[in-house]
Amino acid sequence: GAVVSQHPSRVICKSGTSVKIECRSLDFQATTMFWYRQFPKKSLMLMATSNEGSKATYEQGVEKDKFLINHASLTLSTLTVTSAHPEDSSFYICSASILAGRYNEQFFGPGTRLTVL
Amino acid sequence: AQSVTQLGSHVSVSEGALVLLRCNYSSSVPPYLFWYVQYPNQGLQLLLKYTTGATLVKGINGFEAEFKKSETSFHLTKPSAHMSDAAEYFCAVNFNKFYFGSGTKLNVKP
């Protein structure tokens, strides 16, 4: 149980185009979904937190107009990288969480490797 | 405020040797602590977690960690390293969201 999928697993795009990444909780309904970015040889950086039906909460320094997050249902969140540039190339990981007592039990997706040419 | 420090960005051990990956945390509230493993180009897999109860926590693949409040530590250990343990390991503390350490890359030599 508690499987999270991401699609696509890899995407290569040209500079200036937009890319959408989907994150789905396959066998549970997630109260909250998180989007992370991971730079090479670095830790995960939280980009934003999203709850179904409401606007995402972005971390400081993350451009909300560039990284659009839509949380359409309790099992689906999407991250759209708009007008992508080479510096947006990175590994993007989502997680879906269930409230377990006083903390969020998070389940991570397998990640999406974005390469912008 | 919550934060996590992992000492040693790279750790190298011989196959069969003890694995010790260090994690110290700071938290203004009782912490929930996690260890994750990441293989290349993959997401994070939960190894083990401490929420409440027994301070020695056993996880998958023979790993365990001990929560020591007095030392604000949650070090990860495994008695005997296997080649398949080579990966990146992340310690994390959770309150409303996760705060990850910078990661430790474990290399296992034959």
Q: Which residue of B has its CA nearest to A43?
A: B102
Q: Which residue of A has its CA nearest to B105?
A: A41
pLDDT tens figures, A97-113: 887 666 678 889 999 99
Q: Does B84 touch chain A (CB under 8 A)?
A: no
Amino acid found at A105: E
Q: Does A66 touch chain B (CB under 8 A)?
A: no
CB contact under 8 A, A101 and B95: no
Interface test with B, best of A43, A51, A102 (most B CBs within 10 A): A43
pLDDT tens figures, A73-91: 889 999 999 999 999 999 9
> What span, in angstroms and rounded, lies between the C-alpha atoms of A52 and A34?
11
**Exposed, middle or buried by CB within 10 Å (0-12, 13-18, 19+), for A29?**
exposed
Q: DSSP letter string over chain B?
A: --EEEEE-SEEEEETTS-EEEEEEEE-SS--EEEEEEE-TT--EEEEEEE-SS-SEEE-GGG-EEEEEGGGTEEEEEESS--GGG-EEEEEEEESSSEEE---EEEEEE-
Q: Does B101 touch chain A (CB under 8 A)?
A: yes
Q: Does B3 touch chain A (CB under 8 A)?
A: no
Q: What is the pLDDT of residue A1?
A: 65
Q: What is the pLDDT of residue A17?
A: 96
In this structure, the number of other CB atoms found within 10 A of the CB of residue B67 comes to 20
pLDDT tens figures, B72-90: 999 999 999 999 999 999 9
* Alpha-carbon distances, residue B69 vs A40, A89, A101, B52, B98 (angstroms): 32, 39, 21, 12, 19
How close A76 comes to chain B (CA, Å)? 18
Residues A89, A97: contact at Cβ < 8 Å? no
Least confident span in A43-47, A102-106, B42-46: A102-106
